[in-house]
Amino acid sequence: MTERTGQCLCGAVGYTLAAEPLAVRVCWCRDCQHLAANGTVNMLVPAAGLSHTGTLSEHTTVADSGNSVTRQFCPSCGTHLFARSSARPEFRVVRAGTLEDPSSIRPGMNIWANSAPAWACLDPSIERIERQPVPGGKPAPAQA
Ligand SMILES: [Zn+2]
Ligand SMILES: [Zn+2]
What's the 3-state SS for 40-70? EEEEEEEHHHEEEECCCEEEEEECCCCCEEE
Residue 70, domain extent: 4-128
Pairing verdict, β 109-111 and 23-27: parallel
Beta strands per DSSP E along the chain: 4-7, 14-17, 23-27, 40-46, 50-53, 57-62, 68-73, 80-85, 91-95, 109-111, 127-128
Per-residue pLDDT at 41: 97
Instruction: Say if 66 falls within a structural domain.
Output: yes
**CB 75 within 8 Å of CB 91:** no
Instruction: Say if 137 falls within a structural domain.
Output: no
Instruction: Say if 82 falls within a structural domain.
Output: yes
| CATH code for the domain of 106 | 2.170.150.70
Distance between CA atoms of residues 61 and 1, nearest Å: 33
Q: Total structural domains in the chain?
A: 1
Closest CA to 40 of 91, 79, 88, 87: 79
Distance between CA atoms of residues 2 and 144, nearest Å: 12
Which bound ligand lies closest to the C-alpha atom of 14?
Answer: 1
Which bound ligand lies closest to the C-alpha atom of 53?
Answer: 1
Per-residue pLDDT at 74: 98
Instruction: Say if 65 falls within a structural domain.
Output: yes
Per-residue pLDDT at 66: 83
Which bound ligand lies closest to the C-alpha atom of 36?
Answer: 2
- 133 Cα distance to chain centroid: 13
Q: In the structure, what pLDDT confidence band is assigned to residue 83 with cuts at 50, 70 and 90?
A: very high
Mean pLDDT of 45-69: 93
Instruction: Say if 139 falls within a structural domain.
Output: no
Ion ligand 2 residue ranges (Cβ < 5 Å): 27, 29, 32
| Span 98-132, pLDDT tens digits | 999 999 999 999 999 999 999 999 999 999 999 98
